[in-house]
Chain A
């Protein structure tokens, strides 16, 4: 037992353990996702997050300690976003032909993503501060946090809500689109990138490369649209 304590003391002070645990938890999530026949409900992000949260709780580890190891994975988000240029480039012809639908769907979709929060938030009795923190929820995290701070929301709360929105979109998009009988992967991808940023884009890439390309565009454009629309809608309501 003393030996085990010694090993744990070493592991818990090094990034290796939590880095490995994160990859391991994701492998379990990904295996479950594949075993389910790639069903949207078996979301690998959600599964790995739950496994790791249970592990942190069981070992009494705080988040900053965990993040010391996990930050190497977190860091790759930036380079991965840059890589979205590649599916975009290989589908550039389709994108150019769809510029008008992209522009109009961006305006209408972004307005709905922000406006519905204000209306629904008031109907459900949320506090003003929570509604402000929730308004930029569809934008990618760094942009959403910046907007939230500017309008008097809580950036850390916004970060949580952005991820919940991402997971929600990634889970509902495929069953919803199938239910509606929508087969156009350009439209499906663009919609999920717009509403659910990178997590939605990750889901789109699992389904179809065209959807992934359009999701990347939706995410990038909606970061900008949300930054412009949120202050405008605040004046309107």
Chain B
């Protein structure tokens, strides 16, 4: 468990160093994630060993957004008269993006499958 945590933090550290060295807009942990996948491809045994720890942490991924979420409460009340239109834009835009993304994925997947 501690070995696994050390390894996971190590990948994040590598990612943070890489994103700063390269000056990319990708966050360090996302680069760490990609590196981690590559290492698991090279060592499938590691993937089996670390699965429990990683899925355990991910099972409560929602919890990790709570501290940042509490921070928005004060800001939300300060948005004043813009709050209602902002919420409307967020909800409509999110629903539209979900629909467009999911149907594009399905259509292209169907098209690729028929072709292959």
Find the residue from A45, A160, A180, A206 having the highest chain B CB count within 10 A. A160
Q: Check if A163 sits within 8 Å of B65, measured CB to CB.
A: yes
Q: Check if B54 sits within 8 Å of A83, measured CB to CB.
A: yes
With known contacts A45-B66, A73-B66, A73-B67, A130–B57 Cβ distance under 8 A:
no
- What are the residues of chain A within 8 A of B55 when measuring CB–CB? 83, 86-87
**Number of A interface residues in the complex (CB < 8 A):** 109
- What are the residues of chain B within 8 A of A188 when measuring CB–CB? 102
Q: Check if A187 sits within 8 Å of B102, measured CB to CB.
A: yes
Q: Does B70 contact A (CB under 8 A)?
A: yes
Give B6-28 as 1s and 0s: 1 = Cβ < 8 Å from A's Cβ atoms. 00110110010000000001111
**A residues 1-60 in Cβ contact with B at 8 Å:** 22-23, 25-26, 30, 43-46, 48-49, 52-53, 56
Q: Check if B72 sits within 8 Å of A227, measured CB to CB.
A: no
A44 to B61, CA, bound (A): 11
With known contacts A53-B73, A56-B70, A44–B15 Cβ distance under 8 A:
no
- What are the residues of chain A within 8 A of B53 when measuring CB–CB? 83
Q: Check if A164 sits within 8 Å of B61, measured CB to CB.
A: no
Q: Check if A176 sits within 8 Å of B95, measured CB to CB.
A: yes
Q: Check if A141 sits within 8 Å of B68, measured CB to CB.
A: yes
With known contacts A109-B100, A157-B75, A83–B58 Cβ distance under 8 A:
yes
- What are the residues of chain A within 8 A of B91 when measuring CB–CB? 168, 172
A212 to B25, CA, bound (A): 23
A108 to B5, CA, bound (A): 37
What's the nearest-Cβ distance from chain B to residue A189, in Å? Answer: 10
A196 to B61, CA, bound (A): 14
A58 to B106, CA, bound (A): 49
With known contacts A87-B58, A164-B87, A212-B58, A79–B9 Cβ distance under 8 A:
yes
Q: Check if A74 sits within 8 Å of B37, measured CB to CB.
A: no
Give A97-116 as 1s and 0s: 1 = Cβ < 8 Å from B's Cβ atoms. 01011101110110011001
- What are the residues of chain A within 8 A of B85 when measuring CB–CB? 124-126
Q: Check if B25 sits within 8 Å of A191, measured CB to CB.
A: no
A106 to B112, CA, bound (A): 16
With known contacts A78-B12, A101-B108, A143–B61 Cβ distance under 8 A:
no
A105 to B96, CA, bound (A): 13
Q: Does A132 contact B (CB under 8 A)?
A: no
**B residues 56-88 in Cβ contact with A at 8 Å:** 57-76, 79, 82, 85-88
Q: Check if A25 sits within 8 Å of B51, measured CB to CB.
A: no
Q: Check if A224 sits within 8 Å of B26, measured CB to CB.
A: yes
Q: Check if B94 sits within 8 Å of A165, measured CB to CB.
A: yes
Q: Check if A88 sits within 8 Å of B37, measured CB to CB.
A: yes
Q: Check if B86 sits within 8 Å of A134, measured CB to CB.
A: yes
- What are the residues of chain A within 8 A of B40 when measuring CB–CB? 85-86, 89
Quick one: closest B residue to A48, CB to CB?
B66
- What are the residues of chain A within 8 A of B101 when measuring CB–CB? 105-106, 108-109, 112, 187, 190-191, 194-195, 218
With known contacts A70-B66, A169-B98, A202-B62, A160–B76 Cβ distance under 8 A:
yes
A25 to B73, CA, bound (A): 15
Q: Check if A127 sits within 8 Å of B29, measured CB to CB.
A: no
Q: Which 5 A-B pairs have the closest CB atoms?
A: A109-B101, A70-B67, A81-B29, A85-B36, A227-B25
17 additional contacts, CB 8 Å, given A108-B104, A163-B65? A49-B73, A71-B67, A77-B64, A77-B65, A78-B28, A79-B5, A79-B8, A83-B33, A85-B34, A89-B47, A108-B101, A112-B96, A134-B86, A168-B90, A168-B91, A186-B105, A223-B26
